[in-house]
Amino acid sequence: MVKGFTDTNFNDRENSHGSESQSFIKMGGRLLFATNPLGFVKFDLIGEIRVDKIRVHMRAVLQRVTEASCKVDGEITGQIGAGFLVLLGVEDADTEDDLSWLANKIAGMRVFGDENGLMNKALADINGDILLISQFTLFAQTKKGNRPSFIRAAKPDKAIPMYEQMIKTLENITGKKIATGIFGADMKINLLNDGPVTIVMDTRDKDTH
């Protein structure tokens, strides 16, 4: 619980989690809303209030492909046949628990055709592969103006270790080498989407299912 402030102007206070600042705005003694680096959090209240912190999440876009490849400076860095092209976006507060949950979901997703033409097989059932590409633009914010903001995406010192850990985790789960791009490089992605089948996943679903 956080005590309501008596200030009538804009103030920054350290939140109950200790690491990020929350900005509270009051007008005429009434708390209107609070912001943090991730957006707006509305409150019900007067006096003592309950803080509903915005849940950040790791995000992935899966594309079922018959083939996919990544080139940097004209050289192929990763190439696969049938399987998944995975675009991965990381936020600052993502954890290894988020990463593990998402990796298992990717590997277990049953979207490949069976003998009856139904999406009933997982990656292992077709001996498929994964091409994993880092993609900070998955967190583009487009509400204001025409130039997207990527403030929600994790900085390289956070995102690179998480990207590398995702590679290792997927390799451990699948027992196969994961094809990759190069983090932060100007990558050219070529793919043949099979279906098309494209699935957006993020770890906020971990908290609701």
* CA distances (Å), origin 187, targets 73, 149, 180: 8, 20, 11
Which residues are the active-site residues? 137
The DSSP line for 98-140 is HHHHHHHHHHH---EE-TTS-EEE-GGGGT-EEEEEE-GGGG-
Peptide bond into 156 cis (omega under 30): no
Residue 179 buriedness (CB in 10 A; 0-12 / 13-18 / 19+) = buried
pLDDT band at residue 2 under the 50/70/90 scheme: very low
Average pLDDT for residues 163-190, to the nearest whole number?
96
Question: What mean pLDDT, rounded, does the chain reach?
Answer: 78
What is the residue whose two structure tokens read 């990527």?
Answer: 150
Q: Record the pTM.
A: 0.71
- Cα gap 23→31, rounded to integer Å: 11
- Cα gap 36→21, rounded to integer Å: 6
Question: pLDDT digits over 62-80, tens only?
Answer: 999 999 999 999 999 999 9
Question: pLDDT digits over 72-113, tens only?
Answer: 999 999 999 999 999 998 887 778 888 999 999 999 999 999
- SS3 assignment for 59-92: EEEEEEEEEEEEEECCEEEEEECCEEEEEEECEC
Quick check: helix, strand or coil at residue 198?
Answer: strand
Closest of 63, 202, 187 to residue 128, by C-alpha: 63
% the chain with pLDDT above 90: 49
- Cα gap 158→54, rounded to integer Å: 19
